[in-house]
Chain A
Amino acid sequence: MKVSELAKRKIEVVSVLLIVHVALVVYGAAGSPKFERMGFAGFLWELYGEMTAASHQYGFFAPRVGSPTRIRLKVERPAQPAENFVLSMRSPEGHMRLGGFEDDLRNSEEPHTRRDISASLAAAQFDFVPDARTVTVSVECMDIPEMDQARQGVKPRWIQISSCTFRRKP
């Protein structure tokens, strides 16, 4: 077989693979159920989707724009006043990425996800503050009035949507 024919055959094979990739991207974008019941094959799909972004969805600000959210931490140490602060980043890009984190906390549909993320925040605080006894992670969300309500004078306000307290193991 001539070299040029080999090259053409190679391109044909690659074309098929690219079509499969596009199909996987459409499947992932449609929010189709994951291949959880397909065992190892499903696990490979999850991995491939993560490596190539084929499993990512594109519901940016959909179906509605979420409310501004902030994470408040309260760290209690023995014989010292409790430290109460709102998480923030130094850079605008860091602030943007913290917002994605806050969105996960606000929108989590699975019951354990919000608790797990709160636990991971608390664990980092326990590492950072060696003598911390308890860490309380509170998620606050801005209750934005609709445009009609805003015209009537209703103002936005911060409301707490969850609060978890974690205690350091003795």
Chain B
Amino acid sequence: MWADLHHLFGGELYRPELVAHSARLLVPRSDWLAPVLQALGLGHVAPIYLVFGGYIVALTCLLLGFLSRPAAWAALLFHVMWTASGPESNYGVDTFARIALFICAIAPTGAVFSLDARRAPMWTSERAARRGLFLLQCLLAIAYGFSGYEKALGPDWWNGESIYRAMYLDSPHMAEFLTSVPFVAVFAGWGTLALEMGWPLLVWMRPTRRPLLVATMLMHLGILLTIHLVSFCAVMILLNLTLYLYDPHGHHQQARPEHPHIDRFSEPSHCTLHNAAR
């Protein structure tokens, strides 16, 4: 998206200030930096590239676990700034990215599997870590549940028309093929509804969790292959994998020295995080 950044978020495609939205008045945007950068002799597209570049740097630090919490807050702020600079072009991937960044900012991120933990032992409450993970699991369940419910309100997902129409977005030849086998579209539509509406309940039950998650990731993979929502599907598959399917019991448990003034925990945080899903 680097090549289109200035078009979509730098005011070259459209002028977002002409599309009224009251809350955007106080939501940080990249063009807030424009007066300062123009005074330094930089062009009008410099703000969006600076903000997006800062976003990439913050994400990299978060990925490596270097200054994890500040990096999470910085990534959240930069994400808000560049998406708010062109809100009409935002879509689902931005919603889930913001949710995940918000959780990373408020939860004890970086306690394990991070450069921060390697440099110096980090002490955090097991319960705080569990709550952060549980919150993100709840938010994902809310998203799937409402997504399925809103799809079920109309007839198109029940009769397969939505699957057929979705193919026209990027694969018209597939759409034409579906007209000859309409039962495939109907089956896919019913499967999508069952998966999404059942998700909030089935994911909390141990016997159904793994089949549900595998089916969910196959659904996202199917979306990726047919209508090529690459970023969105990658984020959703990653969320499903990391929140539920990661099994910490295969990892070596490190003994932690006791500290007299901090809550003690007998297991490393990455093991206790998984307990939130049981």
Interface residues of A (CB under 8 A from B): 3-4, 7-8, 11, 14-15, 18, 21-22, 25-26, 29-30, 43, 46-47, 49-53, 56-68, 87, 89-94, 96-101, 104, 113, 116-117, 119-121, 123-124, 127-128, 142, 144, 146-147, 150-151, 156
Which residues of B1-44 are within 8 A (CB) of A? 1-4, 7-8, 11-20, 22-24, 26-27
Q: Is B90 an interface residue (CB 8 A)?
A: yes
Chain B residues with CB below 8 A from A89, complex form: 4, 7-8
Interface of A is mostly: helix
Q: Which of A29, A65, A91, A96 is the one whose CB lies under 8 Å from B166?
A: A65
Taking A90-B3, A97-B89 as contacts, is the C-beta distance between A14 and B16 under 8 angstroms? no
Chain B residues with CB below 8 A from A52, complex form: 98-99, 102
Chain A residues with CB below 8 A from B17, complex form: 120
Contact across chains for A67 and B8 when beta carbons are under 8 A apart: no
Chain A residues with CB below 8 A from B135, complex form: 18, 21-22
Please give the distance in Å from B269's CB to the nearest CB on chain A.
14
Contact across chains for A50 and B165 when beta carbons are under 8 A apart: no
Q: Which of B8, B84, B165, B230 is the one whose CB lies under 8 Å from A65?
A: B165
Contact across chains for B228 and A47 when beta carbons are under 8 A apart: no
Taking A29-B142, A29-B143, A144-B165 as contacts, is the C-beta distance between A98 and B185 under 8 angstroms? no
Please name 25 pairs of A and B residues whose Cβ atoms are closer than 8 Å in the assembled complex, sorted by A. Answer: A3-B261, A7-B263, A11-B127, A14-B131, A25-B142, A51-B27, A52-B98, A58-B144, A63-B153, A63-B156, A64-B162, A89-B4, A90-B3, A91-B1, A94-B3, A98-B89, A100-B88, A101-B13, A119-B18, A120-B17, A124-B12, A127-B15, A147-B164, A147-B185, A151-B180
Contact across chains for A150 and B179 when beta carbons are under 8 A apart: yes
Q: Is B231 an interface residue (CB 8 A)?
A: yes
Interface residues of B (CB under 8 A from A): 1-4, 7-8, 11-20, 22-24, 26-27, 76, 80, 84, 86, 88-92, 95-96, 98-99, 102, 125, 127-128, 131, 135, 138-139, 142-144, 146-147, 150-154, 156-157, 160-162, 164-166, 168-169, 172, 175-176, 178-180, 182, 185, 228-231, 261-263
- By beta carbon, the residue of chain B nearest A151 is B179
CA distance A96 to B230 in the complex (A): 10
